Amino acid sequence: MNPRPALALTAVLAAVVVAGCGGTENGSPTTAPPTTSAGAPPSPGGSNGSGTQRPGEIDLAGADPCAAVTEQQAAAWAVDRAPIAKQMGASTAIAGAPSCVFGSSAEQTTFLIATSGDVGLPDFVEATPPSPTREEVEVDGFPAVVQEGVTSAPERGSGECYAVVDVADGQLLLVQFSQVAAGADKRLPLDSLCAKAREVAAAALTTLQGG
Amino acid sequence: MPFFSGVGEPVGAVIGAAAGAAAGAGAAAAAQAAASSSGRLRIEPDQVDGAITVFRNALANVEAEVAQARSDITAFAPAGDAVSNDVASAFNEVGTTNALAAWEGAIEQLRSIIEQLEAAKQQHLTTDAGNAGMLQQPSA
């Protein structure tokens, strides 16, 4: 087991910038305001009620996370089985939010996508335990945090990393990319898992914007 | 340890006790029905494809459960009271280590069973092809 500091339980308002999850930024910030997943007129980018800078707003209310990446997009991560719909647990900061798990038996990887239409990134960060690996990033111009999960043991092929994206005031997209006991020839370092979580998040943003 | 019967025996595959438990976890009615009282799972040659499907589905479901559980841990929001915080602390210090070890064990076992079933299937196909070839040899 990779030694991990015990998580403090005091909530923090700001994300802590600590080295940990690297990876390159996926895609470039969108300059044109995107359309919403529901097809409603997009909210303008730039300033909004919270002052958060985004290239636009994506309405995730009622969004289906199993449809957040297309079959064509999923092929990039060698997904070779049907997505499985799940739901975030009752004791989580986004309790009841729909989630969906995609898997690759060939690569021994899975990724999970969750969409919350009523909890935003600042509230998520405040409500959940702080992580020493939490890093502020952007995914396609949207503010996001990336952090490693606590059940990681890279030496045994087990790791998890998250990208949580601020898509609109009070709404977020969460992506987890992970492995459990992956074979020696399949193992990915944690920074690769983090990079892939961001890739999946970028793909999901494209799909959810109607692209 | 799981094992399979030898080539040419009438039984396609025999899997150890772990397979019975895994099949149960995967709601594999057919495989459960075939579980013997010794805890081993006997699979006839014509049922190997079905068994592979059952265990692949079980693996997919277990991996999905694990992915969701991990997300729930990361997104866990303590209620803020002392009891909730104590429970959260205890789980973070001990629970995550134990949980990961249990998940790794279950998933490794399922992968092993699938690999063995696929190997048994391949061996059976090879034997069948060899027997068919011998039957087609012209007599001297």
Tell me whether residues A160 and B96 touch, CB distance under 8 A: no
Where residue A202 falls (left for φ over 0; alpha for ψ -120 to 50; beta otherwise) is alpha
Residues of A in contact with B96 (CB under 8 A): 4, 150-151
Q: Give mean pLDDT, residues A12-21.
A: 30
Distances, alpha carbon A94 to alpha carbons A39, A121, A124, B67, B139, in Å: 24, 10, 7, 16, 74
Q: Which residue of A has its CA nearest to B104?
A: A181
Distances, alpha carbon B28 to alpha carbons A48, B5, B13, B58, in Å: 52, 21, 16, 8
- Scan residues 111-130 of B and list those with Cβ closer than 8 Å to A: 111
Whether residue B107 lies within 8 A of chain A, CB to CB, comes out as yes
Over residues A143-161, the pLDDT tens digits come to 999 999 999 999 999 999 9
Which of B52, B59, B61, B70 to mutate against chain A (most A CBs within 10 Å)? B70
- Count residue pairs from A and B with Cβ separation < 8 A: 119
The residues near A100 (Cβ < 8 Å, ≥ 6 apart) are A64, A65, A66, A68, A83, A84, A85, A86, A112, A113, A114
Residue B81 has pLDDT above 80, yes or no: no
Task: Identify the pLDDT of residue B94.
Answer: 73
Tell me whether residues B92 and A99 touch, CB distance under 8 A: no
Over residues A98-135, the pLDDT tens digits come to 999 999 999 999 999 999 999 999 999 999 988 999 99
Residue A3 has pLDDT above 50, yes or no: no
Half-sphere exposure of A108 (CA within 13 A, CB side): 19
Tell me whether residues B93 and A6 touch, CB distance under 8 A: yes
Q: Give mean pLDDT, residues B6-13.
A: 39
Question: With bands split at pLDDT 50, 70 and 90, how would you rate the model's confidence at B93?
Answer: low
Q: For residue B42, count CB atoms less than 10 angstroms from its CB and return exposed for 0-12, middle for 13-18, buried for 19 or more.
A: middle
Angle formed at CA A28 by CA A25 and CA A21, multiple of 5 degrees: 10
Whether residue A128 lies within 8 A of chain B, CB to CB, comes out as yes
CA dihedral sign, ordered B59, B62, B67, B70: negative
Task: Identify the pLDDT of residue B135.
Answer: 66
Round to whole Å and give the CA distance between A97 and A90.
Answer: 9
Q: Confirm if B35 and B20 have CB atoms less than 8 A apart.
A: yes
Task: Identify the pLDDT of residue B25.
Answer: 43
Question: With bands split at pLDDT 50, 70 and 90, how would you rate the model's confidence at B136?
Answer: low
Round to whole Å and give the CA distance between A38 and A63.
Answer: 8
Which tokens is B60 given?
């997919």
Over residues A46-70, the pLDDT tens digits come to 446 677 899 999 999 999 999 999 9
Which tokens is B96 given?
């995550």
Per the confidence metrics, is the pTM higher than 0.90?
Answer: no
Whether residue A176 lies within 8 A of chain B, CB to CB, comes out as yes
Q: What's the mean pLDDT when you consider all of chain A?
A: 82
Question: With bands split at pLDDT 50, 70 and 90, how would you rate the model's confidence at A178?
Answer: very high
Given the cut 0.90, state whether the ipTM is greater than it.
no
Closest CA to A162 of A177, A182, A181, A152: A177
Task: Identify the pLDDT of residue B78.
Answer: 80
Q: Which residue of B has its CA nearest to A175?
A: B71
Task: Identify the pLDDT of residue A31.
Answer: 32
Task: Identify the pLDDT of residue A16.
Answer: 28
Task: Identify the pLDDT of residue B2.
Answer: 34
Closest CA to A146 of A173, A171, A168: A173
Coil, strand or helix at A160: strand
Distances, alpha carbon A167 to alpha carbons A119, A122, B20, B61, B78, in Å: 11, 11, 45, 29, 24
Round to whole Å and give the CA distance between A120 and B18.
Answer: 43
